[in-house]
Amino acid sequence: GRRAHAATAFELNLPLFKPLTLDLSGRYDRYDSDRTRGNHHFTYRFGVEYRPFHSLLLRGNYATSFKAPDLSSLFLSPSSYYTQVTDYYACAKDGASSCDAYSNGVRGTLLANPTLRPTTASSWTAGAAWSPTERVSVSVDYIDMAIRNEVVEQDIDQLTYDDARCLLGQLDPASAQCQALTNPTTGQVQRAGTDGPITALVTSYANLSSETIRAIFASLRYHFVPTRFGSFGLQLDYNDLLNHEFRFEAGTPSVRQLANPQSSTEFKSMFTGALDWTSPGRRWTSTLYARRVGSSPNYAAILGGASQPDAGRLRPWITFNGSIGYQATRHLRFALMVNNLANKMPPRDASYTDAPYFNDENYDVYGRQIMLQMRMAFDAR
């Protein structure tokens, strides 16, 4: 397929008076393709910064955005693939504690979607940054984002999972979502007979009706007073996902990701910290990095919902990384890096009865990793 695109934009930064600055920008896009004509959208951003006194900055902005579907998602010819799928319906029927034994290979077909609509979004943020001294700074920001018609490639595991929920009556079998999945002739999940094993899949690009995200980001940076042993710096960052929900189709109920372990296993919070050191001559550097991810639902909650008797949450996971570097010459640098210093594995899920005993979509199996790096810069002269 072909597409023609044209755009124009403007940007204005306006210091009204010393403590107040306004920022305004806008962009107009127009595109035409083989299947659609006259697609156009105007997006803009308005921001304000106010500094009531030197050490404090108050800031906020409101922005809109627009993204046309990729050409491949509009015009891609049907393409076949083979993949492993989990038959959650058969697993639930048999009352199995783990669905690992219900995985089999099937043929799938990926289809383009020429009716895809452009993705649009709006967001607003508000926050503050405070620097009481030149050595310390603190910032807190809140973001609220709403996305409409996001273009996604359908998730195979989610399709087979929702197919099982439709067949088990956990979702309304008469709903448009369930009919699109389970129809014996046109459904995306095809089975042998009424409730036999999965034999084929049909996936495509699709528009999510809407998605909303609300989160808080906080950061602290501190530079210690230099000593004869060198300079030290500390940085702490905290992210908290307050709300994340989406709606597949207009008229269907919103799915609250954080409240529904059957829909999402994402972490609600994440905390990171880094302590770095630089030697007096700046030849040696070192960093100790810590990462803590919050709790996540266990396998029983993912499979049967939060009301399951053995449903629960796994404890947070904390790991440490470290590095040390040496600047041998102006052009040559060596570094030793170690990830997961304590060789700490993810929290074990007692409701997951097969290896690796944890959700590999949330956690990785890597233990301690040691890397040695040499970097040499060649003088262009």
The model's pLDDT over 370-381, given as tens digits with 9 standing for 90+, comes to 999 999 988 755
Q: How far apart are CA 143 and CA 355, in angstroms?
A: 38
What the block records as the tokens of 84 is 């492993």
Neighbours of 241 (CB within 10 A): 17
CA-based max dimension of the chain: 77
In this prediction, residue 256 carries a pLDDT of 83
Element (H, E) at 164: helix 156-167
In this prediction, residue 357 carries a pLDDT of 78
- What does DSSP say about strands 103-111 and 79-86: parallel, antiparallel, or unpaired? antiparallel
In this prediction, residue 251 carries a pLDDT of 67
In the block, tokens 């695109």 appear at 5
pLDDT tens digit sequence for 15-42 = 888 899 999 999 998 887 766 666 788 9
Q: How far apart are CA 200 and CA 185, in angstroms?
A: 12
In this prediction, residue 23 carries a pLDDT of 95
Of 40, 212, 4, 174, which is closest to residue 118 (Cα–Cα)?
A: 40
pLDDT tens-digit profile, the chain (381 residues): 677 888 899 999 988 888 999 999 999 988 877 666 667 889 999 999 999 999 999 999 999 998 888 888 888 889 999 998 999 999 998 888 778 788 889 999 999 888 888 899 999 999 999 999 999 999 999 999 999 998 888 888 888 989 999 999 998 998 888 999 999 888 999 998 878 899 999 999 888 878 999 999 999 999 999 999 999 999 999 999 999 998 877 766 778 888 888 778 889 999 999 999 999 989 999 999 999 999 999 888 887 778 888 888 999 999 999 999 999 998 999 999 999 999 999 988 888 877 777 787 888 888 899 999 999 988 755
Sequence-ordered list of residues with C-beta below 8 angstroms from that of 226, at least 6 positions apart, any chain: none
In this prediction, residue 348 carries a pLDDT of 87
What the block records as the tokens of 200 is 């084929």
pLDDT tens digit sequence for 72-131 = 888 888 999 999 899 999 999 888 877 878 888 999 999 988 888 889 999 999 999 999
Interior/surface letters 12-31, b for 16+ CB within 10 angstroms, e for the rest: eeeeeeeeebebeeebebeb
What the block records as the tokens of 224 is 């210690």
Query: CA-based Rg of the chain, rounded to a whole angstrom?
Result: 26
- 249 close to 243: Cβ distance less than 8 angstroms: no
* Secondary structure letter of residue 96 according to DSSP: -
pTM exceeds 0.85? no
DSSP SS3 for 92: helix
Q: Give the Å distances, CA to CA, from 145 to 24, 121, 253.
A: 19, 7, 19
Report residue 361 CA to chain centroid gap.
12
In this prediction, residue 351 carries a pLDDT of 84
The identity of residue 243, as a single letter, is N
End-to-end CA distance of the chain: 47
Neighbours of 201 (CB within 10 A): 22
* Per-position DSSP letters for 20-73, written without gaps between them: EEEEEEEEEEEEEESS---EEEEEEEEEEEEEEETTEEEEEEEEEEEEPPPHHH
- 188 close to 182: Cβ distance less than 8 angstroms: no
- 78 close to 172: Cβ distance less than 8 angstroms: no
> What is the set of domains in the chain, with CATH numbers?
3-67+115-149+206-376 (2.40.170.20)
- What does DSSP say about strands 136-153 and 119-133: parallel, antiparallel, or unpaired? antiparallel
